[in-house]
């Protein structure tokens, strides 16, 4: 975590605004962030593009207060999160410093389905809470970044603790400390639940996103499996037919 005395002026104003205005919901946070007229260049000092290749994006904690935490996410070319929720987050917001690829999912129990695929434009500020299930990353040809705030109405500093990561390629859900890496390390996981229901369209889209990660890390068995499913999606459901929603 970075010494607050070394934070950029805009981040100092953001911290003061959150702490002085008793933020308790995402709409109030988003209004504050918009009023501050954040500038993407103010966050260049906190980028983390040279992260380990075993972590599927750069995640740097900038500040942790009594009931909220701020991260700068760095997206090298090809970086992406796994599909994930946001745990204990009661309120939060994301400032998109660049045009970033985004996937929105609908989840009911263990049923998960892709609902929207888009590019969220630079300068956009969106609300976040614990129930939001999405994935985001960089399918462009240049590095990107985004600022993330997760808050709680309790004295919980790591408000996105107990996030759920949906590993469709492994047919399981991992409960994590807030990280949402593809093929997330066991030491960031609290528990694992087996069994997901999904659709062919969801699988094809998500597998196309995560395949480069598995290839880069030379996880050849999984990469071969993903490529086989992309050629014939029925393979995904043939071993356990209850995994198919349609």
Query: Which two tokens mark 163?
Result: 């996030």
What pLDDT shows up at residue 21?
Answer: 87
Q: Report in angstroms the alpha-carbon separations of 196 from 158, 159, 168, 169, 173.
A: 27, 25, 7, 10, 8
> Contact at 8 Å (CB) between 131 and 163?
no
Q: Contact at 8 Å (CB) between 67 and 159?
A: yes
> What is d(CA 180, CA 87) in angstroms, rounded to the nearest whole number?
11
pLDDT at 10: 86
* Alpha-carbon distance values, 42 to 38, 67, 175 (Å): 8, 24, 33
What pLDDT sits at residue 63? 92
The Cα–Cα gap between 168 and 183 comes to 10
Specify whether the CB–CB gap between 148 and 92 falls below 8 A: yes
Residue 118 clears pLDDT 80, i.e. is over it:
yes
User: Residue 242: pLDDT band by 50, 70, 90 thresholds?
Assistant: very low
Report the chain's mean pLDDT, rounded to a whole number: 93
Closest CA to 187 of 200, 177, 172: 177
Place of tokens 């990561």: 165
Whether pLDDT at 1 is above 80: no
217-227: per-residue pLDDT in tens?
A: 999 999 999 99
Choice between 103 and 246, residue whose per-residue pLDDT is larger: 103
CB–CB of 132/154 below 8 Å? no
Cα atoms found within 13 Å of the Cα of residue 210, Cβ hemisphere only: 32
Distance in angstroms (rounded) separating the CA atoms of residues 71 and 176: 16
Contact 110, 196 (CB under 8 A): yes
Ordered domains of the chain (ranges, CATH): 4-194 (2.60.120.10), 200-243 (no CATH)
Is it the case that residue 185 has pLDDT exceeding 50?
A: yes
State percent of the chain over pLDDT 70. 95
* Residue 183 in this model has a pLDDT that exceeds 70: yes
Q: Which residues pair with 24 in a beta bridge?
A: none
pLDDT recorded at residue 5: 60
Count CB neighbours of 118 within 10 A: 10
């Amino acid at each position: 975590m970075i010494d607050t005395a070394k934070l950029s002026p805009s981040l100092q104003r953001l911290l003061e605004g959150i702490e002085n205005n008793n933020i308790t919901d995402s709409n109030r946070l988003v209004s504050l962030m918009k009023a501050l007229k954040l500038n993407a260049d103010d966050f260049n000092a906190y980028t983390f593009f040279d992260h380990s290749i075993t972590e599927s994006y750069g995640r740097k904690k900038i500040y942790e207060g009594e009931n909220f935490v701020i991260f700068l996410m760095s997206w090298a070319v090809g970086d992406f999160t796994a599909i994930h929720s946001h745990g204990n987050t009661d309120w939060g917001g994301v400032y998109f410093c660049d045009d970033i690829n985004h996937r929105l999912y609908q989840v009911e129990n263990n049923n998960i389905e892709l609902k929207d695929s888009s590019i969220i434009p630079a300068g956009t500020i969106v609300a976040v809470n614990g129930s939001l299930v999405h994935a985001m990353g960089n399918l462009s040809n240049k590095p990107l970044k985004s600022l993330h705030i997760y808050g709680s109405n309790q004295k919980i500093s790591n408000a996105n603790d107990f996030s759920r990561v949906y590993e469709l390629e492994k047919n399981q859900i991992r409960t994590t400390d807030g990280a949402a890496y593809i093929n997330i390390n066991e030491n960031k996981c609290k528990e694992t639940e087996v069994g997901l229901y999904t659709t062919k369209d969801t699988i094809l889209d998500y597998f196309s996103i995560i395949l480069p990660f598995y290839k880069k890390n030379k996880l050849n068995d999984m990469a071969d499996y993903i490529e086989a499913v992309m050629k014939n999606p029925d393979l995904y459901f043939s071993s356990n037919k209850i995994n198919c929603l349609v």
